[in-house]
Structure 1
Amino acid sequence: MEKPERRPVPLAASLAGLRLIGAGAVLGLALAVPASPAQADPPRPPAATQDSSADDAPES
């Protein structure tokens, strides 16, 4: 079997390929790492407290 001829690859094409591989690696890592849980809203007072304060306000 003969060895295939090696063709030179232009530097620009080589760098573009490396950037593409790097972007794929970053995306793969971002998708592999579990997302941090979203922060919950601070606890709110019960709805009964809000309704009673609205009833106490004088109507104008």
Structure 2
Amino acid sequence: MEKSERRPVTLAASLAGLRLIGAGAVLGLALAVPASPALADPPRPPATTQDAVDLDES
């Protein structure tokens, strides 16, 4: 079996590749972690309007 030729890789190309791998890992983790549930508004007490008070008095 014949060895394939090895070409020298520049430091800039190597670092660029590592940055792409790192960015992919961060993106993968961000997509894998479930999103936190949205905070719902607290329940509101029943509204008492002037109309409701007038109907109760009748």
The TM-score bracket by the shorter chain reads: 0.7 to 0.9
TM normalised by structure 2 equals 0.76
Quote the residue 1:32 is aligned against. Answer: 32
Deviation string 1:17-40 (CA, Å, 9 cap, x unpaired) is 000000000000110111111111
Report how far residue 45 of structure 1 moved.
Answer: 2.5
Matched pairs, number: 53
Q: Secondary structure at the match of 1:23?
A: helix
Quote the residue 2:56 is aligned against. Answer: none
CA distance in 1, matches of 2:31, 2:16: 23
CA distance in 2, matches of 1:23, 1:14: 14
Quote the residue 1:9 is aligned against. Answer: 9
1:19 partnered with 2:30: no
CA distance in 2, matches of 1:53, 1:22: 62
Which ranges of 4 or more aligned residues in structure 1 deviate by more than 6 Å? none
One-letter amino acid matched to 1:12: A
* Structure 1: runs of 5 or more not aligned: none
TM normalised by structure 1 equals 0.73
Report how far residue 53 of structure 1 moved.
Answer: 4.3
